[in-house]
Amino acid sequence: MPTSDYAVRAIGLQKRYKETRALDGFDLAVPYGMVYGLLGPNGAGKTTAVRILTTLIRLDGGTAEVAGYDVTRKPRMVRRRIGLTGQQTAVDDAISARQNLVLFGRLFHIGQAAARKRADELLEQFSLADAANKTPKKFSGGMRRRLDLASSMILAPRVLFLDEPTTGLDPAGRREVWQAIRELARHGTTVLLTTHYLDEADKLCDRIGVIDHGKNVVEDTPDGLKRRIGNERLEIVAAESDDLPAIAELANRAASEGTEATVDEARQAVTVPIADGVQALTDVATELRNKGVTAADLGLRRPTLDEAFLQLTGHATDDEETSAV
C-alpha cells in the first residue's frame, strides 16, 4: 500500500497543446484533509492540471501522484480513490435523484442493495432526502450541483476534485454548494477545487495556490495572500470635495512608515496603510472633529483577495485568454 504525506503531489508538470504551453513546470503539494484552492484566470492551466491529476489526459513531462499512486503508471488505482465533479453537471433529468445515485453506484459495480443504501446515505448527507423522488429538472441550480457532488462521492473517495463547482449558480446556490463542500472536508475528504471566484476561495480554502500561464505564482493561506499587499487601511470619504487636501494631510500623519495616502477624487476618498488600526481610526476621527471636517464615511478596510490576486498576477481572475486550457 503506497504511503505519502500528500493526497496530491505534482512536480514539474508539463502539457502542451500545439504551440501553447498549458502547464510549464507546475508544482503542487496538497496534504490530506485539506481544502486546497487552485486559483487563476481563464486559460491559466487550472483545468489542464485537474485533467492530468484525474487521469483524463496524459502529462508531457514531470510526475504526479494522487492518493499515493502515480497517475501515469497506476491510473486505475488513482481512479478508485478519487471523485471528480466537472464544470457541467452529469445528472440525468429524466430519472429521480435517488435513481441517479443508484445508477452511478451500479456503474461503479456496486450491488443493487448496496447502491440503494449508499444513495440514501448521500441524499441525507447532502440535504436532498426530501427531494429523493423528484427529477433534477425540478431542482434549483444549487440542488442540482449538490446532487452532482453526491454522485462523485459514491465510493467515498479519499480525494475529490472540483473544477469550477459553482459556475453559473446564483448566490443562494453557491452558498448551498459551499456548505456541502465544508461538510465533505469535515468528514475527512481532501478537496482540490479550481475557481476564479475569489470570495469562494477565501471562504472555503485552507490554502490557495495561484497559477498563471501554466506556472506557479505563489502559495499561501487566504489571509497570508492578503498580507502580502500590506496590512489594514484607513479609508476616509469626504462629504465635500474641498476637504480632500485636509483629509489627506491628516491621513498621512497616521500612515505606516514608508507609506502615504492615496486620493481618489472621483470617490472623494482618501486611503492610507496603517499599522495600528483602532488607534489610527480614533486619532483621525478626533482630528477631523477638532478641525470641523465632516466625513461621509470613515472605516478600516482589510486588503481583499481580489487586490492580492491583481497585484500578484497583474490582471483579474476572469480575464479571457486564447489558450485552450
Give domain status of residue 325, yes or no.
no
Confidence (pTM): 0.76
> First vs last Cα of the chain: how many Å apart?
34
Model pLDDT, residue 317? 57
Asked whether residue 124 falls in the same domain as residue 270, the answer is no
d(CA 92, CA 70): 32
Q: Which residue in the block uniquely carries the three cell numbers 462521492?
A: 153
Q: Domain limits at 216?
A: 6-226
The confidence score (pLDDT) of residue 10 equals 97
pLDDT of the residue at 72: 96
pLDDT of 324 = 42
Map residue 27 onto helix, strand or coil: strand
Q: Check whether residue 242 and residue 133 sit in a common domain.
A: no
Q: What is the CATH classification number for the domain harbouring 198?
A: 3.40.50.300
Q: Chunk the chain into consecutive blocks of 10 residues (it has 325) and report each block's average pLDDT, rounded to whole numbers.
A: 80 94 96 93 90 96 96 95 84 93 91 94 91 92 90 88 87 87 89 88 93 92 80 87 90 83 90 83 89 90 77 60 41
> Which pLDDT belongs to residue 316?
58
**Alpha carbons 223 and 276: distance in angstroms, whole number:** 18
CB contact at 8 A, 200 and 174: yes
What integer pLDDT is reported at residue 90 of this predicted model?
Answer: 82
A 10 A CB-CB count for 277 gives 17
What is the distance between the alpha carbons of residues 102 and 33, in angstroms, rounded to a whole number? 27
Residues 6+ apart with CB under 8 A from 113: none
Q: What is the CATH number of the domain that holds 261?
A: 3.30.70
The Cα 217–Cα 211 span in angstroms is 5
Number of domains present in the structure of the chain: 2
Specify the pLDDT at position 321.
Answer: 39
The set of residues, in sequence order, having a beta carbon less than 8 Å from that of 19 and lying 6+ positions away, is none
